[in-house]
Amino acid sequence: MRSFAVIGAGILGAAAARELTRRFPADHVTVFDKAEDAAAHQSGHNSGVVHAGLYYEPGGLKARLCRRGVDLLRDYAGAHSVPYQECGKLVVALRPEEEGRLRAIHERAVANGVPGAELIGPERIREIEPEAIGRLALHSPRTAIIDYPALTRALLADVRASGGTVRLGTEVTAIANGAEQCSVTTEEHGTQGFDAVIVCGGLQSDRLARMAGGAAYPRIVPFFGQYSKLAPEHRDILNGLVYPVPDPAYPFLGVHLTKRVDGEMLVGPNAFLSLGRENYSGRRIGVRDSLEVAASGSFWRFASRNSRAAAREFAAVVSRKRFLAQAADYVPALTGADSTPITRGIRAQAMDRAGRLVDDFVIEDIGRATLVRNAPSPGATSSLAIAEHLVDRLIAGHGLRSAAPSTS
């Protein structure tokens, strides 16, 4: 009997472990995560959006796995009673200079096969979202929302039901590649050898990769995103999601309005450097993480190119009124609205040596280890498709034969 390990019990690790049990039902899969709970980091601190594939370069790994992932996610959620709702989304242009960028996004959406994606004018905007305004909008009727922590728990339940082992509260301290095996060391269980290891470490992905002998770059630079929950009287202000047109001067989507499956309406996130990879409260500064960023020439090269956008984001960090005002630009009824901050999310953003943010998914194979080095949004949306892709690589790279073929 062969043995496989997955490091990380977020949505990607859970999906990869479940895919391994599906392809190798006679073999054993062990999942390791230092957190006491599944989906404790990025998977449990996000808006819950299932992206349809609007923004991504046609033909790229992001675009292909996002579109495949949506179908897999929807079907899995339906079969396992995971909350999932196709609420739709508008990307709204307020100014003339945004219209060209929005038309380019529409062209990508069409090339990516996003169902129902269309450009609409002010009247149709009001029909779909009576409280929203705009000169032009891209409507994506199949964009959805989901409960990602519930999805992660369901995937890990499948792993356990298939005979796999899930070891939470178990930190990996070393990874070593040999000719025929990859060994994983933890304080609780010592060193164990596995036929292959998949590493889905999220915020710790670069450190885990270096343990396994991976490249120095890309490195993770953490950015926090603060969401606020709108007051109860604004819960039903929108039918779905409303986003601004992304600003090309900053590599994030901007403040938007997001409906959650529990009925709450969120506004956010901002995006700013986090003083710690797991500093969700904003008060527990990660000294090691912060010193690494401060000593990084690649980060300072990035910062020098993005100072104007960073100043704008910092203003929204220190003033919730300004933060909400960005959303009120395209939903005027939110002017002066009350909101309550919720636990922030932290994005594991990979950066290359030149200080460029890595946009596409990055996967590195080192010996018997397959390492997910970068899986930004739509990583959660694409999780089941990424899992297929990872196991396909593992099979091809090590000459393995599985009992169940890939469905991709």
Q: What angle do CA 331, 332, 336 make, to 5 degrees?
A: 115
User: Rounded CA gap, 332 and 334, in Å?
Assistant: 5
Residue 54 is assigned to a structural domain of this protein? no
The residue among 99, 114, 141 that closes a domain is 141
- In this structure, are 353 and 374 located in the same domain? no
pLDDT for res 408: 44
pLDDT for res 314: 52
- In this structure, are 321 and 276 located in the same domain? yes
pLDDT tens digit sequence for 165-211: 999 999 999 999 887 899 999 999 999 999 999 999 999 999 999 99
The residue among 112, 141, 170 that closes a domain is 141
**Residue 21 sits in which domain range?**
3-44+149-218+359-398
Q: Is the dihedral of CA 119, 121, 127, 128 positive or negative?
A: positive
Phi, psi torsion values for 370, nearest 5 degrees = -110, 120
Phi, psi torsion values for 3, nearest 5 degrees = -130, 140
**Binning pLDDT at 50, 70 and 90, where does residue 307 land?**
low
Mean pLDDT of 127-135: 97
- Using only C-alpha atoms, the chain has a radius of gyration, in whole angstroms, of 21
Task: State both tokens at 60.
Answer: 């790229």
- The count of domains in the chain is 3
Residue 26 is assigned to a structural domain of this protein? yes
- Cβ-based neighbours of 103, under 8 Å, separated by 6 or more: 119
Task: Please name which of 335, 376, 18, 45 lies closest in space to residue 198, comparing C-alpha atoms.
Answer: 18
- In this structure, are 167 and 203 located in the same domain? yes
Q: What 3-state DSSP class applies to 48?
A: coil
- Cβ-based neighbours of 58, under 8 Å, separated by 6 or more: 108, 111, 112
pLDDT tens digit sequence for 320-353: 677 788 889 999 999 988 888 888 899 999 999 9
pLDDT tens digit sequence for 101-125: 999 999 999 999 999 999 999 999 9
Residue 77 is assigned to a structural domain of this protein? no
CA distances (Å), origin 367, targets 198, 383, 398: 11, 23, 9
